[in-house]
Amino acid sequence: MGFSSRLEGYTGRVREVLESAGVDVGDEIEITIGEHEKIKGVLMSRYELADPEYIVVKLPNGYNIGVRFRENIQVRKLLEEVKKPAFRPPEKARPIPGLPRVTIVGTGGTIASRIDYRTGAVRPVLTAEDLLSIIPELASIANLDASILFSIFSEDMTPNEWSMMATRVDEYIRRGVDGVVIAHGTDTMGYSAAALSFALQKPPIPIVFVGAQRSSDRPSSDSATNLIAAVKVAGYAPFAEVCVAMHDNHSDEVIAIHRGTRVRKNHTSSRDAFKSINTEPIAFYKNGEIYVNRKDLNNRGSNQYIFNPKFSDKAVLLKFFPGMSHEILEDIWMKGYRGIIIEGSGLGHVARRLIPTLEKILKDGVFIGMTSQCMYGRVNMRVYSTGRDLLKIGVTPLDDMLPETAYVKLSWVLAQTTEIEEIKNLMLTPLAGEIGERSIP
């Protein structure tokens, strides 16, 4: 994760003190300030952008602190042997008869990784044995199998990774597992969950995305509770939906299970960042139990499964803003994109000055769908004349679909057909609970 394993980030007086103490990044050290203050912890790499006058130390509670350099500072290396964290060697898990078979697919992100205290580096931990050594409870919930599909930051996911994930999950479905858990970075987990909702429609088993907002070396980590809930849902839920399992609130007690097409990361850092938008979660997990929250779900064992993992990269998501120029639309059109999801204002509007450009693009056979940057509620383009004029030129109103989900769906639809009427028709047909629910008032 960009950390150096040497002192190279440190410079000047700070570097001198560390070198003369004979310590290196990853060592347990004790810093003495003046006569009384002592700080113990692991010396961390200095970020390139941190103040050069600070020494970064990871405390035993998992938090990093920066100790400012002062003349009266002393650094001492502690004995490694004494301080090495106890880490029992993982045992090979034996299948327990009667438990469901759940497969965990690692794709990257905070949940599928563990920070190495000694270097600050993050390493993947997704063998079943690793997981069981960290979260022993999992062994009593399911017979686990785990593998790493890839290990990338979720901001680097593209439609190509969505296809790879869907294809891998389909393999496990055909092997007869009882549920699949996908460990995923949280940044774009909502997009990926929507993608698999369209690629794996009405699957016979639950497909549960899970992430963590805090890494597992922090006391406030949500890794374990989220993962336990995800495995439970994958193995036992009566519904077979593509969904996301994340903290419902600030406590560790309740995990919300969100529909893959209805969920959004709505906070940069809090543990309950994921929210169902315009609907309720499909279920909750609490104290080992799954509480199903609605009736219109695809049942486990469904025989209507449709697998179609193709995605196009010819779709664009574009947010309207007051000074938006028609040039931005023209450029997208010129680049050969075949569909545009607009995050319009209010009930589904853009500036009237953009209408002639939109009309030209639509006449060229490009799909343009309208969602709202309000996020909550649904577009209604019959109320004001701007909306009516946009309808008249052929903009498709996408009801209460999330803009992000609309973009993912369009990426999927464009890989199924090049026929504009069929594209419109598919975009307006609910395929995975993505459209047409009653909005929360």
Residues 59-118 interacting with a second copy (rule: CB under 8 A)? none
CA angle 398, 183, 134 (to 5 degrees): 150
Is 187 considered catalytic here? yes
- Kindly give the residue spans of alpha helices, DSSP state H, lying in 48-126: 80-83
Cβ neighbourhood burial of 380 (10 Å; 0-12, 13-18, 19+) = middle
Is 186 considered catalytic here? yes
Distance CA 257, CA 283 (A): 5
Binding map of a second copy across residues 9-48, x = CB under 8 A, - = no contact: --------------------------------------xx
267 binds a second copy (CB under 8 A): yes
Structure token pair of residue 420: 């504009």
Task: Give the residue with the Cβ less far from a second copy, 18 or 341.
Answer: 341
1 binds a second copy (CB under 8 A): yes
- Kindly give the residue spans of alpha helices, DSSP state H, lying in 146-238: 159-175, 189-199, 223-236
Task: Give the residue with the Cβ less far from a second copy, 190 or 235.
Answer: 190
123 binds a second copy (CB under 8 A): no
Q: Which among 145, 178, 187, 217 is annotated as catalytic?
A: 187
**The one segment of 28-36, 86-94, 202-210, 312-320 that binds a second copy by CB under 8 A:** 312-320
Closest C-alpha among 371, 370, 366 to residue 423: 366
- In the set 183, 347, 370, 415, which binds a second copy (CB under 8 A)? 347
376-395: contacts with a second copy (CB under 8 A): 376-380, 382, 384-386, 388-389, 391-392
Closest C-alpha among 383, 385, 382, 379 to residue 406: 379
Cβ at position 321, least distance to a second copy in Å:
4
Neighbouring CB atoms inside 10 A of 175's CB total 10
431 binds a second copy (CB under 8 A): no
Dihedral sign (CA 165, 170, 172, 178): positive
367 binds a second copy (CB under 8 A): no
269-288: contacts with a second copy (CB under 8 A): 269-270, 273
Q: Compute how many residues bind a second copy; rule: CB under 8 A.
A: 77
Question: Which is it for strands 122-124 and 113-115: parallel, antiparallel or unpaired?
Answer: antiparallel
Q: Which among 58, 103, 107, 110 is annotated as catalytic?
A: 110
Distance CA 212, CA 187 (A): 10
CA angle 118, 123, 124 (to 5 degrees): 150
Residue type, 333: W
Task: Give the residue with the Cβ less far from a second copy, 114 or 378.
Answer: 378
Cβ at position 414, least distance to a second copy in Å:
11
Cβ at position 141, least distance to a second copy in Å:
29
- In the set 36, 219, 323, 438, which binds a second copy (CB under 8 A)? 323
Binding map of a second copy across residues 197-236, x = CB under 8 A, - = no contact: ----------------------------------------
Is 429 considered catalytic here? no
Is 158 considered catalytic here? no
- Kindly give the residue spans of alpha helices, DSSP state H, lying in 377-440: 385-393, 403-413, 420-428
Q: Are 425 and 419 in contact (CB under 8 A)?
A: no
Under DSSP, is residue 74 helix (H, G, I), strand (E, B) or coil?
strand
Task: Give the residue with the Cβ less far from a second copy, 145 or 400.
Answer: 400
Distance CA 274, CA 27 (A): 37
Task: Give the residue with the Cβ less far from a second copy, 70 or 382.
Answer: 382
Active site positions, annotated? 110, 186-187, 265
